[in-house]
Amino acid sequence: MPNSVLSTNKQATMDTYARFPLTLVKGQGSYVWDNEGNKYLDFSTGIATCNLGHVPSYVKEKVEQQLQELWHCSNLYHIPSQEKLAQKLVAHSFAERVFFSNSGAEANEGAIKLARRYAQKVKGSNAYEVVTFKQSFHGRTLATLSATGQEKIQDGFSPLMPGFRYLPYNDIKALDELVTDHTCAVLLELVQGEGGVYTADLEWIQQLEKLCKENHILLMIDEIQTGMGRTGTLFAYEQFGITPDVITLAKGLGSGFPLGAILASEEVAKGFSPGSHGSTFGGNPLATTAGLATLEYMVEQNIAQKAQEAGAYLKEKLLKLQESFPVIKEIRGKGLLLGLVFEDQVLELVTKARENKLLIVTAGPNVLRILPPLTVSKEEIDACIAVLTKGLEAYQPK
C-alpha cells in the first residue's frame, strides 16, 4: 500500500518517549500554548533549554535576518557567526578554544575523544580511561551512555564501550581510587540534573581538582544543564573556585536551536588537529547566530544575576512550602535548577500540575525538577507555588 494512503492516525515515530498527552504549538516568554488554545506556565523550559524563555525577541530578530542570508555551508569554510560566538565564549570563560556540535551528547562525545587524543598524541601516554560518577547523565550515544553512571540508561546496549570507571559522587574517601595508570580524564556535573539534582560538595570538588592537577589528569565539567546562567553564574564552575580543562555546553546555548560546544584550554585543544574531529552541521550559520544572540543578550542584560535572584526567591518559597508539607524531604540544587525530594513517586504531582496549567518534570521517580526560564518574574513564581500547593493538598504518596 502506498505511504500516501496510510491512515494518518497511525503513529510513525519510534516509541522512544513516554510523551505526556499534550501537543504544544506556540511559546512566548514563560508560557506555551497547546493545539486547543490552552495556556501553560512552563517551568520545564524544554528541560533547561529555553533559558531566555520561548521565542526571545532579540534572538528571533537575529535568526530571522540569518534565514534570509545563509543556512548552511559546511565547516570547510569560515563562518563569521561561529567565530564570533567562539570568541565571546572564550572572553567569558577560562577557555581559549571552542569546537561546535549539534547537541550535548555530541559535545560530551567530543570531549571524551579530545581527552584520549590529548593523552596519546600530545602527552605520548597510553592513558584512555575517563572517570565519571554514579547518578551522572552524559548523553545517549554509545560512548556517552557508557560514561553515564545509571544502569537504566545503559540497559539493553551491552556491550558498553570500555574505558569508563564510576565512583560515588561527593565521596572524598572514594577519591583515593581516582588515579590509575590508565586515567586520562574525569568527567562530571556540578549539579546532577537528571540524576536527582545533587550538587557537588565544595570540599569534594576542590580535592578532586587538586588530584587532577597533581596527576596531570584532565578535569572536564559537563555544563550542558548547568551552563548558560542556569545556576546563577554564566557557568556553574565559577561558583566552586575551580578551573577546569574542558567544559561542555548545549541546551541553553542556542535558545532551542540545536547547538553544543566543547570549550578547552589552548594546551588541551592541541589534542585535535585537522581531520581528527568534525561535524557536518555543528556550528552552522543558523545555529551559531542563535547562540551568539543568546550569549550577547545574557551578558548585556546580566541574566545570570537575575537567575540567581529569582532562584533565591523561588527557593525561599519552596522552603515555606516544605514547612506546610513535610512530605517534601529536601530541596536541592542551585539557582533555577532546583529539585524537591520526596520519599515516594511524584509523577502524580507532575500530572496534577499539568492539569492546572503548570509544566514541570522529574529527576528520577521521587524528585520534582523545577526549571523556569531565567527571565521568570516573581508573579510567575508565585503562580507556580500556588499550583504546587494545590497539588500537594491532594497528593497521595505511593
pLDDT at 6: 43
**Percent of the chain, pLDDT > 70?**
98
Smallest CA-to-CA distance from 90 within 278, 225, 235 is with 235
Share of the chain above pLDDT 90, in %: 96
pLDDT at 10: 75
**CATH number of 57-300, picked from 3.40.640.10, 1.10.8.60, 1.10.238.10, 3.40.50.720:** 3.40.640.10
- State yes or no: pLDDT of 31 exceeds 50: yes
Predicted local confidence at residue 2, as pLDDT: 45
Distance separating alpha carbons of residues 276 and 265, to the nearest angstrom: 17
Residues 57-85, mean pLDDT to the nearest whole number: 97
> Which pLDDT band holds residue 161 (cuts at 50, 70, 90)?
very high
Residue-range domain boundaries for the chain? 3-56+303-393, 57-300
Mean pLDDT of 297-320: 98
Give residue 377's pLDDT band: very low, low, confident or very high (50, 70, 90): very high
For domain 3-56+303-393, the CATH superfamily is: Aspartate Aminotransferase, domain 1 (3.90.1150.10)
Using one digit for the tens of pLDDT, what is the confidence trace for 317-368? 999 999 999 999 999 999 999 999 999 999 999 999 999 999 999 999 999 9
pLDDT at res. 245: 98
Residue 4 binned pLDDT confidence (cut-offs 50, 70, 90): very low
Quick one: three-class SS letters along the chain? Answer: CCHHHCCCCCCCCCCCCCCCCCCEEEEEECEEEECCCCEEEECCHHHHCCCCCECCHHHHHHHHHHHCCCCCCCCCCCCHHHHHHHHHHHHCCCCCEEEEECCHHHHHHHHHHHHHHHHHHHCCCCCCEEEEEECCCCCCCHHHHHHCECHHHHCCCCCCCCCEEEECCCCCHHHHHCCCCCEEEEEECCEECCCCCEECCHHHHHHHHHHHHHCCCEEEEECCCCCCCCCCCCCHHHHCCCCCCEEEECHHHHCCCCCEEEEECHHHHCCCCCCCCCCCCCCCHHHHHHHHHHHHHHHHCCHHHHHHHHHHHHHHHHHHHHHHCCCEEEEEEECCEEEEEECCCCHHHHHHHHHCCEECEECCCCEEEECCCCCCCHHHHHHHHHHHHHHHHCCCCC
Cell match 586515567: residue?
183
Nearest to 164 by CA among 126, 139, 116, 129: 129
**Band of pLDDT at residue 397, cut at 50, 70 and 90:** confident
Per-residue model confidence (pLDDT) at position 11: 86
Terminus-to-terminus CA distance in the chain, angstroms?
47
Q: In this predicted model, what pLDDT tens digit does every residue of 87-128 receive, in sequence order? A: 999 999 999 999 999 999 999 999 999 999 999 999 999 999
Give the pLDDT of residue 125.
96
What is the mean predicted confidence (pLDDT) over 65-69?
Answer: 98
pTM over 0.85: yes
Q: What does the mean pLDDT of the chain come to? A: 96
Q: pLDDT-derived band of residue 28, with 50, 70 and 90 as boundaries?
A: very high
